[in-house]
Amino acid sequence: MTKIAVLGYGTVGSGVAEVLDVNAEHVEDSAGDKVEIKYILDLRDFPGDKHEDKVIHDFEVIVSDPEVEVICETMGGIEPAFTFSKKALESGKSVCTSNKELVAAHGPELVELAKKNNVSYLFEASVGGGIPVLRSMNDSIRHERLDSITGILNGTTNYILTKMDQEGADFDSVLKVAQDKGYAERNPEADIEGHDACRKTAILASIMSGQFVKHEDIYTEGITKITGEDFEYARELHMAIKLLGSCKREDGKFFAMVAPFLIPFDEALANVNGVFNAINVHGNMLGDVMYYGKGAGKKATASAVVADVIDIVRHKGKHIDWNMKNVPAEVASINDDVRNFFVRCDAAGESSARELFGDIKEVVCSKVNGEFAFVSPEMSERDFAEKFEKLSGAKGYLRLL
């Protein structure tokens, strides 16, 4: 029997209990041992809940109980999750978490601490909800030299963009539904401003580079500027609009960014809709491999946490290592990154656009009046920013994948 504790009985924490209850036999079969929750730590009480007798309010009880071998940290946020995780690892308990904020900020340090104490720090649920992408990167394709990762990494924004596109729904009401479904962060700004996708990109980039990619070094734009008219143009271009997190090695540099992109319909990522996430990883020998599944929500995310518990039980007495050293990675400025841009300006800005951008491709959309819209030639982010700044009547832009 392996006894575990769950820190935080919110959406994911209560999901962990549900997965362990509903799939008890499969969990035992997979882990080779029964897994039982001994404690649930939360500030609240849960009268009437099946596990109400396990709810406690003092972390010290958990950390000082030698019977507890694994701690599921599903609290979110940096503190007290960081302090609790450190104490747990120092006490010889393995930790698994869905807390992308903490992993992005202190993951390599916690992995190092886990190694020192011969336990494990696992965080499958921190990227892509239920998608088993991190374990695969750390195991099945660890021998590959990864060249690029491009993914739809935030379920809430993908849900919002899909509803805006397919149903013409307005931003605020779709966000409300995403919150009700348990997809959104406590502060949904983290989703819609791209911060959540940025943290997940930082985690993927750290595993890809083998070093610590700090989320503060990743250029990030969210989806708040995207309007119904952008989708009208996107349809003319036979493209979808998706918030992408990406990182790549190019010309000896390491780039990472988060921003909304126009993606041709014939690309797989353009067809990833609703709460689903997809992550395309390119290895030097393997080529492209795509991971797809539910990127948010109680059961999917909790299932990934339980997968980590099982991995830890199977490797009792051993440290599960990550290729993610606690050494800062150098992230290049996006200024030198080159691509095409889709640009909208007032109709009167056409001559300014032609003069500044040269060989442009006009995009005509009968549903949008009084505008001139075009696709720029390939140019660096630096050149584009300079030209867009000078463009007369500039209204907005999107990058093309």
Exposure on the CB side of residue 134, measured as CA atoms within 13 A: 35
Pairing outcome for strands 276-283 and 287-294: antiparallel
Among 129, 222, 245, 260, binds ligand HSE (CB under 6 A): 129
Nearer Cβ to ligand HSE (154/209): 154
Q: Which is nearer to ligand HSE, 127 or 137 (CB)?
A: 127
C-alpha dist (Å) from residue 197 to 21, 265, 380: 31, 22, 23
Distances (CA, A) of 237 to 168, 285, 394: 18, 33, 20
Residue nearer to ligand HSE on the CB measure, 62 or 95: 95
* 368 contact partners, CB below 8 Å, separation of at least 6: 229, 232, 233
Give the residue at shortest CB distance from ligand HSE.
Answer: 156
Query: Which of 233, 281, 206 is closest to 198 using CA atoms?
Result: 206
Does 151 help bind ligand HSE (rule: CB under 6 A)? no
If binding means CB under 6 A, how many residues of this protein chain bind ligand HSE? 11
Q: Applying CB under 6 A, does 155 fall inside the site for ligand HSE?
A: yes
Answer yes or no: 294 catalytic.
Answer: no
Q: Is 206 in the site for ligand HSE (CB under 6 A)?
A: no
Query: In the 8-state DSSP scheme, what is residue 152?
Result: E
Whose Cβ is closer to ligand HSE: residue 62's or residue 243's?
243
Residue 76 touches ligand HSE, criterion: CB under 6 A: no
Q: Assign residue 36 a region (left: φ > 0; alpha: ψ between -120 and 50; beta: otherwise).
A: beta
Residues 278-307 that bind ligand HSE (CB under 6 A): 295-296
Pairwise CA distance, residues 44 & 305, whole Å: 22
Which among 93, 163, 200, 294 is annotated as catalytic? Answer: 200
Of the candidate spans 20-28, 107-115, 149-157, 205-213, the one that interacts with ligand HSE by CB under 6 A turns out to be 149-157
Closest distance between ligand HSE and the C-beta of residue 186, in Å? 9
Q: Which of 94, 97, 99, 154 binds ligand HSE (CB under 6 A)?
A: 154
Q: Which CB atom, from 31 or from 226, has the smaller least distance to ligand HSE?
A: 226
Contact status: 99 vs ligand HSE (CB under 6 A): no
Q: Which stretch binds ligand HSE (CB under 6 A): 184-192, 201-209, 339-347, 360-368?
A: 184-192
Among 184, 213, 234, 356, binds ligand HSE (CB under 6 A): 184
Q: 165: closest CA among 261, 226, 231, 238?
A: 231
Is the CB of 108 or the CB of 297 nearer to ligand HSE? 297
Nearest to 302 by CA among 130, 73, 94, 178: 130
Question: What contacts 242, CB < 8 A, 6 or more positions away?
Answer: 152, 158, 161, 260, 261, 263, 269, 270, 272
Q: How far is the CB of 204 from ligand HSE (least distance, A)?
A: 13
User: Which residues are catalytically annotated?
Assistant: 200
Contacting positions for ligand HSE (CB under 6 A): 129, 154-156, 183-185, 191, 196, 295-296
